Homo-oligomer: A and B are copies of this chain.
Amino acid sequence: MKQNIYDHPIFFKEYTSLRESGVTYNDFVEQPAIKSLLPTLDGKTVLDLGCGTGHFAKYCVNHGASKVWGIDISSKMIKRAKMENNHDHIDYICKPIEDLELANQKFDLVVSSLAVHYIEDYSAVVKKVSGLLVENGEFIFSTEHPIVTANKEAKKWVKDSQGNNLHWPLDNYQEEGKREQHWYIDGVVTYHRTISTLINTLLDNGLALEKLLEPQSTPEGLKVMPKIVNETRRPSFIVIKSIKKN
């Protein structure tokens, strides 16, 4: 059963309201990192895995992409995408990433922003992506950093007796698999994978590593979101750019 938290009414409301605030880790850490890795989009065909409300799909056509497919498990997200980020050159598909089938279709670029940690079978998705890329096509994705997802129990700051943040806990690194947490609602499931699994699975599927980022905040983010400075103490995300080789 693929998880579809984004169709949960409370989660959807809270999450979309957060994203609309424009003051998020996505805005100042993750999206700038993903965008810094993008090739020229001019004339490119793009597949966006976990497209949400379609901001990135629209960004791609605005930057010259000839055609973008956005796929997302959440019908609420896809509905919003079709309303807010509609475009002749974008097709939105409501489907779990794992069930994606695009026969006879090849892409110049596959992008996935913070969706991979929701997927149980990473290897199957990487294999599918590799098969969907043209030669020298690129797969660029972000995911929660394994040093964040590792812990099974405590995930938050360890504090001293005065309540000051001391450091983060680290544990359970080699125990890959399901992690459950509260994020607006109970029971949000993500999957922990080690850095070696994230990388070697790409290499084993004909994708060469081009760049790995553990992004910090942009200067603007530091101004409007002071706590984001803590990204220097522990990065929340890892962003990977890989290229299809035959």
Contact = CB atoms under 8 A, between A and B. Distances in A.
Interface in A165-215: 166-175, 194-196, 199-200, 203, 208-214
A211 B204 CA distance: 9
Given A196-B214, A208-B209, A231 B174 contact: yes
Contact of A233 (B158, B168, B173, B213): B173
A216 interface: yes
B170 A214 contact: no
A79 to B, nearest CB: 37
A234 interface: yes
B169 A169 contact: yes
Given A151-B167, A170-B234, 6 more contacts: A167-B171, A169-B170, A173-B232, A174-B232, A195-B214, A200-B212
Given A147-B170, A169-B169, A169-B170, A232 B196 contact: no
Interface of A: 147, 151, 154, 158, 166-175, 194-196, 199-200, 203, 208-214, 216, 231-235
A113 to B, nearest CB: 18
Given A158-B158, A214-B194, A171 B234 contact: yes
A84 to B, nearest CB: 34
Contact of A195 (B200, B212, B231): B212
A96 B35 CA distance: 41
B171 A169 contact: no
Contact of A211 (B169, B170, B195, B203): B203
A209 B199 contact: yes
Contact of A169 (B166, B212, B214): B166
